[in-house]
Amino acid sequence: MRPIIRSLVVFGFALGACGGDGSATYKINFKALVAGAPFSCSSTYDNIGSSKTTIQPLDFRMYVQDVSLVRAGGAHVPLALTPDPIWQSKSVALLDFEDGTGLCNTASPDTRTFVTGTAPSQSDYTGVQFTLGVPPDLDHLDVASATAPQNVPALWWSWLGGYRFVRIDVASQANESWSFHLGAMNCTGAVMTDINCKYPNQSTITLGGFTPSSSVVTMDLATLFADSDLDAQVDGMTDLVPGCMSGPDDPECPALYSKVGLTFQSNDAGPAQTFFTVSE
């Protein structure tokens, strides 16, 4: 049985033991907030989004890849992920902030709030970089036979649709479920080894301005939803689902994409992301 982990979600750096080859183990922790308060499946949060609605979390999980540490001079040093049986492979790490309580009826009480790996031991790491999602060559596996952490059905659409890189669901005053599901779009092909996506939607996040021992990087859902009406009702014509599931022409996607540094239905460079920030 998996141990139940109910730790506070924090995102910063922790330095572990140094190896004899000059490498060290680094633990990158994540912290999730809603309007400055800790994210909790058992809490409600007021004045969220453009309609200033009240929300309660339903789900918050995401994949990250290509993690690196950034030195003061700007050099990027890859973090070699440490594989484990549940949360990490050599290529992908799964982060899970919901604990199955409250309205989070996920049957998934375990949480995972950090990424761990090894990198050369340096005293001048001042930043971190990672990409949301899974590598394109791993995006169209069969979840039924995939190995961890890509064996989670709730984070998989289909061979053609691939994985949900980010899954965030909340209940609002007017909607039982309002979603942001980020994934590759406009995919074509017949089998999982022959699928191409016009819009990979790979968002690379680069953060600086912190020290490894004390800085924290946070994700605040109030920032993500700032320009979104979580009480809006779908019309069944121009808007088919409450929120954004990355579908073509979804009117609620552009505002959310911009918060994670992407431009909807485009591979052009997106605006500066605002969802991830650094604090002490």
Question: Is-contact 149 54, C-beta < 8 A?
Answer: no
pLDDT digits (tens, 9 = 90+) for 43-63: 999 999 999 999 999 999 999
Does 227 fall in a domain? yes
What's the pLDDT score for residue 37?
97
Does 74 fall in a domain? yes
Does 66 fall in a domain? yes
Does 7 fall in a domain? no
Task: Count how many domains the chain has.
Answer: 1
Does 192 fall in a domain? yes
Of 194, 205, 132, 198, nearest to 163 (Cα)?
Answer: 132
Does 262 fall in a domain? yes
Answer yes or no: is pLDDT of 21 > 80.
no
What's the pLDDT score for residue 280?
77
Answer yes or no: is pLDDT of 17 > 60.
no
Of 129, 251, 238, 265, nearest to 184 (Cα)?
Answer: 265
- Residue 189 DSSP label: E
Q: How far is CA 30 from CA 1, 129, 130, 232, in A?
A: 24, 13, 12, 30
Q: How confident is the model at residue 3 (pLDDT cuts 50, 70, 90)?
A: very low
Q: In whole numbers, what is the pLDDT of the chain averaged over residues?
A: 90
What's the pLDDT score for residue 279?
80
Alpha carbon dihedral 265, 271, 272, 273, in 10-degree steps, equals: -30
* Segments forming the whole domain that contains residue 129: 13-279
Can you give the pTM of this predicted structure?
Answer: 0.92
Q: How confident is the model at residue 95 (pLDDT cuts 50, 70, 90)?
A: very high
Of 84, 89, 85, nearest to 64 (Cα)?
Answer: 89
Does 28 fall in a domain? yes
Does 5 fall in a domain? no
Name residue 32's amino acid: A
pLDDT digits (tens, 9 = 90+) for 111-166: 999 999 999 999 999 999 999 999 999 999 999 999 999 999 999 998 889 999 99
Phi, psi (5° rounding) for residue 156?
-135, 135
> 3-class DSSP state for residue 94?
strand
Alpha carbon dihedral 85, 86, 89, 93, in 10-degree steps, equals: -160
Tell me the average pLDDT across 57-81.
Answer: 96
What's the pLDDT score for residue 149?
98
